[in-house]
Amino acid sequence: MTTAEETRLRIGRFGVWLAPQTLLGTPVPVQREQFTRIERLGYGSLWTGEPPATAPVSSREILAQLAVALAATERLVLGAGIANIGMRDPMAMHSGAATLAEAYPGRLILGLGGQSGDRPLTQLRRYLDAMDEAATRIPPGPRYPRVLAALGPKAHQVAGERTDGVHPFMQPVEHTRAARKALGPGPLLVPHQALYLDTNAETARAQLRALLTTGRREVVETPYTRNYRRLGYGNDDLAGEYSDRLIDATLAWGDEATIADRLHAHLDAGADHVLLHPLTPDLPSAVDHLERLAPLLRP
């Protein structure tokens, strides 16, 4: 059985993604309480991310953060979504992940991304090469799955060749369908889904617009906007505050049943495991939303 197959069986269909800023503002004792709640609710994994290396400090060090969550739970798989390759050299990345994988067998997924500048995929390949070389210089331990924050077809190709799958962030269901077609049946496909439990359209959309928009009227080109264009969204969707059409495609909002339908739509489109990201002001309220959704997500 491949690492991807083993991981697929272990994590089930639904997990959780928590914003690093939320965890930065939450004392560790409160984190422990809420992580055990997430595990008791039946979610199979818990992920968090890391900002760009050039950003102001807005997160805890991700491997240390994952260690806190691993120690607080018994079965929950912890995912880095993503660990930024600009934040640590390949030896530090591999040795830190390998230590967690040895301490908590089968409970770590390392997501990688954050490359920037010219030839980002070349940077990523070289980083993976260096991680593989680093693995030959320390005692062997349990293998941990690696996934990439891949959006476009070239990144999907690298992921299929060099890792166990992909973890797309803030993408509509049509991206999940395209990613599965590009990857084929073997690699893991773990999309992130932002959500907001509210039936008021303007209130719900405002939550995501606060995260995505730049305040500039013209389109700011990023890997995300380029990917949205590949999916058929144009300047009218991407300029300013983003169109309702794009917001509604990337944000699941409404009542519990409506949001559950969107989550299952990702599975129908080829996802192995879907990560719920409640857009709430603090960690306890995020877990409250996860508790409301949990009964609709059980097999």
Answer whether the bond into residue 85 is a cis peptide, omega within 30°.
no
Dihedral-angle region of residue 260 (phi above 0 means left; psi in -120 to 50 means alpha; beta otherwise): alpha
User: What share of the chain has pLDDT > 90, as a percent?
Assistant: 85
Q: How confident is the model at residue 56 (pLDDT cuts 50, 70, 90)?
A: low
pLDDT per residue as tens digits for the range 155-180: 999 999 999 999 999 999 999 999 99
Read off the DSSP letter of residue 49.
Answer: -
d(CA 5, CA 29): 34
**Integer CA distances (angstroms), 234 to 7, 40, 221, in order:** 37, 42, 12
Do the beta carbons of residue 188 and residue 164 sit within 8 Å?
yes
Average pLDDT score over residue span 95-111: 97
As to burial, measured by CB atoms within 10 angstroms (0-12 exposed, 13-18 middle, 19+ buried), residue 9 is exposed
Matching residue, tokens 């969707």: 237
**CATH class held by domain 3-197+255-296:** alpha beta
pLDDT of residue 277: 98
pLDDT of residue 230: 96
pLDDT per residue as tens digits for the range 201-239: 999 999 999 887 655 567 778 889 999 999 999 999 998
pLDDT of residue 59: 85
Which uninterrupted H or E stretch holds 88? none
Do the beta carbons of residue 148 and residue 124 sit within 8 Å?
yes
pLDDT per residue as tens digits for the range 279-288: 999 999 999 9
Q: How confident is the model at residue 241 (pLDDT cuts 50, 70, 90)?
A: confident
State pTM to two decimals. Answer: 0.96
Question: Domain segments of the chain: what residues?
Answer: 3-197+255-296
